[in-house]
C-alpha cells in the first residue's frame, strides 16, 4: 500500500517520544546523548516529511478514493479518532489532515527543527541544562507538528497552547536571569490573552456551524459556505466577528501590532530557539491559521480579511521602521521577522478564494516557506556571531568577515535574499505578494514597496556593521564555529538560494488547482529598484565608519528617540496595566477581598470562639450531671407531648 499515509503519525510521535525519553531519563547518562536522541528522532521525522511531501505533491495528492486522478490536490485524512463527543453533532477529533499547506508546513517545521537541533549540539555545548534544552526542543517540535496537521479547530487550539507553553519554557531557559524570566512571562501572558480571543472565536463559530472540522468548514456544501449564517451582532455578521476574534489569536502568536510586544523580548532565549520558534515556525502559526480558513474569510467574511490585510501592512511598516534603529542584532532580526510576517498577512489579506483570486494566498505560503529558511539562517548565523564575540550588541562588532568566513558568506546570502535580490528565493515570493497587493489595494502596495526598501536598508546596516566597518578591540580573537554549527548554516543557505525555484503556484494554491503566474514587470522593477536603493544607502552609511548615521539621528532627535524606544508601546501597555487596570480595578477588588470577604469569615470564627468561651463552663466532666440534664429533658419533652397531644 504505497498510497497509505498512516505513517505520518510517526512524524509527530517521534519528537514526543524523544521528549519523554530525554525528559525522564536524560540525567542518567552523558548530556550529549540527549542531543543525539533528539537529533536522530527529528532526523527521522525530517526524512519522513520530505518523503511525504514528494509522495503527496508528485504522486498521490490528486488521486481520490476511487483511484481517479483529478486536477485538484485533495484533503486527505489518513488517521482520525473521535476524542470527545460534546453533543450528537459536535465532537472534537484528533487526527491528521494532509493538504498542500500542511504537507508544506511539515517540511518547514522538521527541516528548521532538525537544523536547530544539530546547531544546538555545538551552540549549547557545556551549558547547564543541556538535557532540559533538548527535551523542550522536542516538545516544541511535537506540538508544532500536531498543530500543522490538525483536522479541526479545537485540535489546533490544543496544540496551539502546547506550542505556547514550550515557547514559554524555552524563552525562560536561562531562568537565573531576571530579564529572561520576565520575557517568558510576557510572551506567555500576551499570547494567552490573544488566545482568549481565539477561543471565543472558535466557540462562536462552532455554535453557529455545529462543527470544528476544517474539511466541513471550508467545503462548498458545508455549514458555512453552503448555508450562510445570517445572525448579526452590532450591525455585523457574527461570522465576521468570530473570524476577527480567531485572527486575534493568530495576531498574538504571529506578533502583529498591537500584540507584538512579546517578540523582541523573546530574544532572551537561546539563539537556536529564536531561530526555530520565534522566526521560522511558531510565529507563522497565525498566518497558517488564517490560511487554513481562507475560504471562510474570503467568501463569508471579507471584512475580516480586510482587517488581516491592514494589520499586516501596518505591522510590517511599523516593525521595519523600528528595526532601522536597534543595536541588538537579535532584536533587529526579531523586528525583521515581525515585518516579514506582516508581509505574509498582507498576502492573505489581498487574496480571494480560487483561481487567480487566490494569488495572494499562494504568495503568502510561498513567502512563509522561503522566510522560514532564510530567517532561520539569519538567526543561526547571528548565534554564531554571538558565540564568537560573546555579545549581541553591534557596537562591539565589526570587521568579522576575516574571522568568520563561513558565517560571513551564509549571512550575506541570507541578507541578499531578504533584501529581494533577483534570483534568490525571497525575490520570487515577495514579488508575488506585491503583485497581489498591486491588483487589490494600491495603498497597501505602496506601503509594502516602501517596506521592501527599508528591509534591504536595515538588513545591510546590520550586515555592514557586523562584518565590515571598524574593528573594535576584541578581548580574544573571534574564531569560526564548529562543524555542527556551520553545516546547518550551509544547508539553510542552500535552501535560501534555491527554494524560490520550487513551483509553488502548481502545488500550494487556495483551491488546490494549479495557478498560472507570469512576471509583471510593472511590479518587479520598482521592487528591485527599492531593494538596491536600500542596499546602496546602507553601503554609504555603514560600510566604513561614517558620521552620516549620527548626523541623521541628531537632526531627527525627537523622532529618532521615539522609534528607538519602539514608539513607547511597552510604556503604554505598562501605563494601562499598572496605572489603570491595577489601580482602578485590581486594587479595589483586593480591598474588597481583604476587608469584606475575609472580614466576614474572620467575624464568624471570632463569634464562635467568644460564644464557646462563655458556655464551656457547662461541660463539667461530671457524667451524672449530664445524665440528670438528659433525663430531665426527656421527662419535660414527654410531659409536654402528653399535655399538648391530649
Site string for other proteins, 567-606 (x = CB under 8 A): ----------------------------------------
CA dihedral 386, 392, 396, 400 (to 10 degrees): 40
Residues 375, 381, 387, 391: is their CA dihedral positive or negative? negative
d(CA 640, CA 622): 27
Cis geometry, peptide bond prior to residue 553 (ω within 30 degrees of 0) = no
Under the binding rule (CB under 8 A), the answer on residue 639 touching other proteins is no
d(CA 230, CA 253): 30
Q: Which of 32/627 has CB closer to other proteins?
A: 627
* Least distance between other proteins and beta carbon 192 (Å): 54
Backbone angles phi, psi at 564, to 5 degrees: -60, -35
Q: Which of 470/622 has CB closer to other proteins?
A: 622
Under the binding rule (CB under 8 A), the answer on residue 627 touching other proteins is yes
Q: What angle do CA 120, 123, 124 make, to 5 degrees?
A: 75
Q: Who's near 171: CB < 8 A, 6+ residues apart? A: 180, 183, 184, 187, 265, 266, 268, 269, 273
Is residue 186 helix, strand or coil?
helix
Q: Which of 47/612 has CB closer to other proteins?
A: 612
User: Considering only residues 4, 522, 624, 646, which one is a binding residue for other proteins as defined by CB under 8 A?
Assistant: 624
Helix axis angle, 302-323 to 238-253, nearest 10°: 20
* Least distance between other proteins and beta carbon 610 (Å): 15
Under the binding rule (CB under 8 A), the answer on residue 619 touching other proteins is yes
Q: Which of 189/636 has CB closer to other proteins?
A: 636
User: Considering only residues 631, 637, 639, 641, which one is a binding residue for other proteins as defined by CB under 8 A?
Assistant: 631
Under the binding rule (CB under 8 A), the answer on residue 642 touching other proteins is no
User: Considering only residues 234, 618, 642, 646, which one is a binding residue for other proteins as defined by CB under 8 A?
Assistant: 618
CA dihedral 251, 413, 266, 37 (to 10 degrees): 110
Stretch that binds other proteins, among 310-318, 411-419, 528-536, 626-634 (CB under 8 A): 626-634
Q: What is the DSSP letter of 513?
A: B
Q: Which of 587/632 has CB closer to other proteins?
A: 632
Residues 584, 587, 591, 592: is their CA dihedral positive or negative? positive
User: Considering only residues 28, 475, 518, 616, which one is a binding residue for other proteins as defined by CB under 8 A?
Assistant: 616
Q: Which of 477/620 has CB closer to other proteins?
A: 620
* Least distance between other proteins and beta carbon 644 (Å): 23
Under the binding rule (CB under 8 A), the answer on residue 614 touching other proteins is no
Q: Which of 69/615 has CB closer to other proteins?
A: 615
* Least distance between other proteins and beta carbon 639 (Å): 15
Question: Is the CB of residue 95 less than 8 Å from the CB of residue 72?
Answer: no
State the number of binding residues for other proteins (CB under 8 A): 12
How far lies 104's CA from each of 101, 502, 620, in Å? 5, 11, 84
Question: Is the CB of residue 145 less than 8 Å from the CB of residue 288?
Answer: no
d(CA 499, CA 112): 14
Q: Which of 557/616 has CB closer to other proteins?
A: 616
Under the binding rule (CB under 8 A), the answer on residue 608 touching other proteins is no
* Least distance between other proteins and beta carbon 637 (Å): 15
Under the binding rule (CB under 8 A), the answer on residue 67 touching other proteins is no
User: Considering only residues 81, 88, 622, 643, which one is a binding residue for other proteins as defined by CB under 8 A?
Assistant: 622
CA 18 to the chain's CA centroid? 22
Q: Which of 580/631 has CB closer to other proteins?
A: 631
Site residues, other proteins (CB under 8 A): 616-624, 627-628, 631
Amino acid at each position: 500500500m504505497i498510497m497509505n499515509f498512516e505513517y505520518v503519525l510517526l512524524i509527530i510521535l517521534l519528537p514526543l517520544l524523544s521528549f519523554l525519553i530525554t525528559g525522564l531519563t536524560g540525567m542518567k547518562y552523558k548530556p550529549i546523548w540527549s542531543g543525539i536522541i533528539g537529533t536522530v528522532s527529528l532526523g527521522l521525522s525530517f526524512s519522513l516529511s520530505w518523503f511525504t511531501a514528494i509522495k503527496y505533491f508528485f504522486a498521490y495528492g490528486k488521486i481520490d478514493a476511487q483511484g481517479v486522478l483529478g486536477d485538484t490536490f485533495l484533503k486527505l485524512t489518513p488517521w482520525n479518532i473521535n476524542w470527545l463527543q460534546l453533543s450528537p453533532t459536535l465532537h472534537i477529533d484528533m487526527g491528521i489532515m494532509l493538504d498542500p499547506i500542511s504537507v508544506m508546513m511539515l517540511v518547514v517545521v522538521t527541516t528548521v527543527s532538525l537544523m536547530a537541533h544539530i546547531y544546538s549540539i555545538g551552540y549549547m555545548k557545556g551549558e547547564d541544562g543541556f538535557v532540559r534544552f533538548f527535551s523542550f526542543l522536542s516538545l516544541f517540535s511535537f506540538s508544532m507538528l500536531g498543530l500543522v496537521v490538525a483536522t479541526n479547530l479545537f485540535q489546533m487550539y490544543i496544540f496551539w497552547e502546547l506550542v505556547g507553553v514550550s515557547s514559554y519554557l524555552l524563552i525562560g531557559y536561562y531562568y537565573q536571569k531576571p530579564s529572561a524570566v520576565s520575557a517568558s512571562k510576557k510572551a506567555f501572558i500576551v499570547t494567552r490573552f490573544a488566545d482568549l480571543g481565539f477561543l471565543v472565536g472558535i466557540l462562536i463559530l462552532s455554535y453557529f456551524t455545529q462543527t470544528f472540522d476544517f474539511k466541513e468548514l471550508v467545503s462548498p456544501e458545508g455549514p458555512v459556505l453552503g448555508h450562510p449564517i445570517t445572525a448579526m451582532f452590532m450591525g455585523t455578521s457574527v461570522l465576521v466577528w468570530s473570524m476577527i476574534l480567531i485572527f486575534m489569536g493568530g495576531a498574538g502568536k504571529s506578533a502583529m501590532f498591537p500584540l507584538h510586544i512579546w517578540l523582541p523580548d523573546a530574544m532572551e532565549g537561546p539563539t537556536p530557539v529564536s531561530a526555530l520558534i520565534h522566526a521560522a515556525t511558531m510565529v507563522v502559526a497565525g498566518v497558517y491559521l488564517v490560511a487554513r480558513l481562507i475560504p471562510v474569510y474570503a467568501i463569508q467574511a471579507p471584512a475580516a480579511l480586510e482587517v488581516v490585510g491592514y494589520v499586516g501592512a501596518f505591522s510590517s511598516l511599523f516593525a521595519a521602521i523600528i528595526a532601522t534603529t536597534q543595536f541588538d542584532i537579535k532584536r533587529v532580526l526579531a523586528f525583521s521577522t515581525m515585518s516579514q510576517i506582516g508581509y505574509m498577512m498582507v498576502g492573505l489579506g489581498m487574496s480571494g478564494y480560487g483561481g487567480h483570486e487566490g494569488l495572494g494566498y499562494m504568495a503568502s505560503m510561498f513567502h512563509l516557506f522561503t522566510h522560514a529558511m532564510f530567517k532561520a539562517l539569519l538567526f543561526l548565523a547571528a548565534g554564531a556571531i554571538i558565540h564568537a564575540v560573546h555579545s549581541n550588541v553591534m557596537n562591539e562588532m565589526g570587521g568579522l568577515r576575516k574571522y568568520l568566513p563561513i558565517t560571513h558568506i551564509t549571512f550575506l546570502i541570507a541578507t541578499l535574499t531578504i533584501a529581494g535580490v533577483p534570483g534568490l528565493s525571497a525575490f520570487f515570493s515577495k514579488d508575488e505578494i506585491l503583485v497581489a497587493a498591486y491588483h487589490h489595494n494600491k495603498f497597501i502596495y505602496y506601503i509594502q514597496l516602501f517596506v521592501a526598501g527599508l528591509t534591504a536598508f536595515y538588513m545591510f546596516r546590520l550586515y555592514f556593521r557586523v562584518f565590515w566597518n571598524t574593528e573594535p578591540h576584541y578581548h580574544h580573537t573571534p574564531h569560526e564555529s564548529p562543524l555542527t554549527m556551520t553545516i546547518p548554516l550551509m544547508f539553510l543557505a542552500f535552501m535560501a538560494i534555491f527554494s524560490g525555484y520550487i513551483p509553488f503556484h502548481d502545488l500550494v494554491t487556495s483551491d488546490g488547482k494549479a495557478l498560472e503566474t507570469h512576471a509583471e514587470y510593472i511590479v518587479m522593477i520598482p521592487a528591485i529598484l527599492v531593494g538596491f536603493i536600500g542596499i546602496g544607502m546602507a553601503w554609504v552609511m555603514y560600510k566604513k565608519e561614517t558620521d552620516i548615521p549620527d548626523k541623521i539621528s541628531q537632526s531627527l532627535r525627537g523622532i529618532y528617540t521615539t522609534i528607538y524606544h519602539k514608539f513607547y508601546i511597552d510604556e503604554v501597555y505598562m501605563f494601562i496595566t499598572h496605572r489603570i487596570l491595577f489601580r482602578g480595578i485590581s486594587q479595589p477588588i483586593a480591598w474588597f477581598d481583604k476587608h469584606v470577604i475575609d472580614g466576614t469569615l474572620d467575624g464568624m470564627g471570632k463569634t464562635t470562639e467568644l460564644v464557646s468561651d462563655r458556655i464551656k463552663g457547662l461541660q463539667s466532666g461530671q457524667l451524672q450531671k449530664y445524665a440528670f440534664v438528659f433525663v430531665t429533658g426527656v421527662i419535660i419533652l414527654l410531659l409536654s407531648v402528653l399535655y399538648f397531644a391530649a
